[in-house]
Amino acid sequence: MLKSQETILEIDLSALKHNVTFIKSKLKSSTKFLAVVKAYAYGSDAVEIAKYLEDLNVDYFAVAYTNEAISLRDAGIKTPILVLHPQPEKFKLIIERCLEPSIYSQRVLNEFITVAEKQKQYNYPIHIKFNTGLNRLGFAEAEAETILNSLKTTEAIKVKSLFSHLAASEDVNEKDFTLNQIKSFKRIAKKMIDNLGYQPLLHQSNTSGVLNYPEAHFDMVRCGIGLYGFGNNPEINKNLKPVGTLKTSISQIHTIKKGDSLGYNRAFIANEDIKTATLPIGHADGINRLFGNGKGFVFINNQKAFIIGNVCMDMIMVDVTTISCKEGDEVIVFGPQHSAESLAESINSISYELLTSVSQRIKRVFYR
């Protein structure tokens, strides 16, 4: 890969393929694979990632919001797309663009039925979400009878899948809780299937669920963070390849004298002569202000350089006193050798937050 003279996010599609292959190796051949490409495919590029995954024959995509799905359709994506958090004002658009909504409450079910009937739909695919412990979105188990009664009143919709979401599948200390979620979902699914008279797809597992709970693979699994190289476990991470590498370069090198200040609010005062490098990336690009003042770091010539002073909107300054470097040298913010997980942990965050914070103004460069 080329040495960068600007701030770019390199996206390695061969790493993406590797991750899909590894995750699929944990599944039965009959288990469908849903790729989660919400939030610009976890901060990379949803359209390019989805096109590549479509070539790899994934069975489904999932996004959070309708507009994300429309962008994929506009780019030519034909694979079914599950919209996880559709808003009722978008229901007509969802039908027009052949998208499939998650239905998570009686209000949402009633409103979608109304729109589907007005649009003269027959057996339009919907996905019923049940809350088994995450307590975010989803029907309660006790509402199953009400759902079934509503479904009996219309032919405009048909249940394509029943699903739920594991809350702590990566945490070995929460195994009992997770097993109870799985048990609850099985019980709900049986009641629904017995009354529907046919069997929709069942899915509950996220990436950690796939890796830790094979009994919860059901008919389909939903993989997000694992696609992009993180398995929420150091041992699993060894088998995955981070897809993104965030790079920048040194714009200028300064010598800061003892007693001099650096950056906004004079947040850093040198207690000895030091050398600093200014980099063209800041909080507008996803480098949170919390990374400033010695918490966050980058890598220059494979050596760790800590961010000093406050993070600026478009720039950060790092301490390179002990690093041999020059203006124009490449800087790695995160990548396969310098994990986004480690950088995120320096401010008690997670890889998800760091990856999805990478600004859209940063150029994406793709490699196969």
Instruction: Please check whether residues 271 and 342 belong to one and the same domain.
Output: yes
Instruction: Please check whether residues 195 and 297 belong to one and the same domain.
Output: no
**Number of domains, the chain:** 2
Please measure the distance between the N-terminal and C-terminal CA atoms of the chain and give it in whole angstroms: 11
pLDDT band at 249, cuts 50/70/90?
very high
Asked if residue 23 is part of any domain, the answer here is no
Last residue of a domain, one of 179, 200, 228: 228
Last residue of a domain, one of 228, 256, 276: 228
Instruction: Please check whether residues 49 and 180 belong to one and the same domain.
Output: yes
Q: What is the CATH number of the domain that holds 249?
A: 2.40.37.10
Asked if residue 24 is part of any domain, the answer here is no
Instruction: Please check whether residues 78 and 114 belong to one and the same domain.
Output: yes
Last residue of a domain, one of 228, 254, 269: 228
Instruction: Please check whether residues 188 and 272 belong to one and the same domain.
Output: no
Instruction: Please check whether residues 103 and 248 belong to one and the same domain.
Output: no
What pLDDT, in 10s, does the model give residues 290-324? 999 999 999 999 999 999 999 999 999 999 999 99
Encoded amino acid at 84, one letter: L
Asked if residue 234 is part of any domain, the answer here is no
Q: What is the CATH number of the domain that holds 100?
A: 3.20.20.10
Question: Looking at residue 276, what is its pLDDT?
Answer: 98
Select from 230, 272, 279 the least CA-distant residue to 255.
272
Instruction: Please check whether residues 260 and 156 belong to one and the same domain.
Output: no
Asked if residue 206 is part of any domain, the answer here is yes
CA distances from 100 to 63, 70, 306, 344 (A): 10, 12, 46, 34
Q: Which residues contact 15 (CB under 8 A, 6 or more apart)?
A: 229, 241, 242, 243, 336
What pLDDT, in 10s, does the model give residues 27-44? 999 999 999 999 999 999
Report the predicted TM-score, pTM, of the whole model to 2 decimal places.
0.95
Question: Looking at residue 368, what is its pLDDT?
Answer: 84
- Domain hosting 330: range is 244-367
Instruction: Please check whether residues 112 and 196 belong to one and the same domain.
Output: yes
Question: Looking at residue 3, what is its pLDDT?
Answer: 66
Using only C-alpha atoms, the chain has a radius of gyration, in whole angstroms, of: 24
Contact (CB, 8 A) for 85 and 64:
yes
Ranking 1-10, 76-85, 144-153, 341-350 by mean pLDDT, the lowest is 1-10
DSSP code at position 238 = T
Instruction: Please check whether residues 175 and 290 belong to one and the same domain.
Output: no
Asked if residue 3 is part of any domain, the answer here is no
261/263 Cα distance (integer angstroms): 7
> Which residues are tagged catalytic?
38, 264
Instruction: Please check whether residues 169 and 266 belong to one and the same domain.
Output: no
Task: Count other C-beta atoms under 10 Å from residue 229's C-beta.
Answer: 25
Q: Average of pLDDT values for 338-348?
A: 97
Instruction: Please check whether residues 253 and 295 belong to one and the same domain.
Output: yes
pLDDT band at 334, cuts 50/70/90?
very high
| Burial readout 282-295 (b: 16 or more C-beta within 10 A, e: otherwise) | bbebbbbbebbbeb
Instruction: Please check whether residues 85 and 147 belong to one and the same domain.
Output: yes
Asked if residue 288 is part of any domain, the answer here is yes
